[in-house]
Amino acid sequence: MAAKSIIIAVTMPNQKIANKIGEHLINARLIACYQDLGKIKSVYFWQNKKTKANEILVLLIALKSNFSRIEKAIKKLHPYEVPQIIAFEASQISKDYASWISFGSIK
C-alpha cells in the first residue's frame, strides 16, 4: 500500500515569506513540491474585527506522515500568530505521482 499523500494550503503575507518557507520545506525534504498560486484576497475576522488582506496562497505536496513536522516548521517561520495550515488527503492519485511524492519527501 502506498504512503498517503496530502495537499496543504497555506496563506502567506507576501512573496518573500512564501519563498522562504517553501524553500525551507523543500530543502528539509519535508515536502515534494510547493506551488505558489499567487495573490489572493482574504476577508476574515481577527480579534473581533473584520479584516481584509492581500496574501499569497501556497499548496504544499507531501506525505501525510510529515504533517506534524511541516506544521511545526511553518509555525516557526511564519509571521502570523495563527497561520492557515489546512491539509487535504488525496483520495485518488496516480501511482507514478504517488511514488514521486514519496521519493521527493523522504523524511
Task: Look up the pTM and report it.
Answer: 0.91
Domains, the chain, with CATH or none: 5-104 (3.30.70.120)
How far apart CA 41 and CA 84 sit, in angstroms, is 14
Mean per-residue pLDDT over the chain, rounded:
93
Among all chains, which residue has been given the C-alpha cell 494550503? 9
How far apart CA 104 and CA 100 sit, in angstroms, is 6
| Per-residue model confidence as pLDDT tens digits over 66-97 | 999 999 999 999 999 999 999 999 989 998 99
Nearest one of 36, 48, 46 to 12, comparing CA atoms: 36
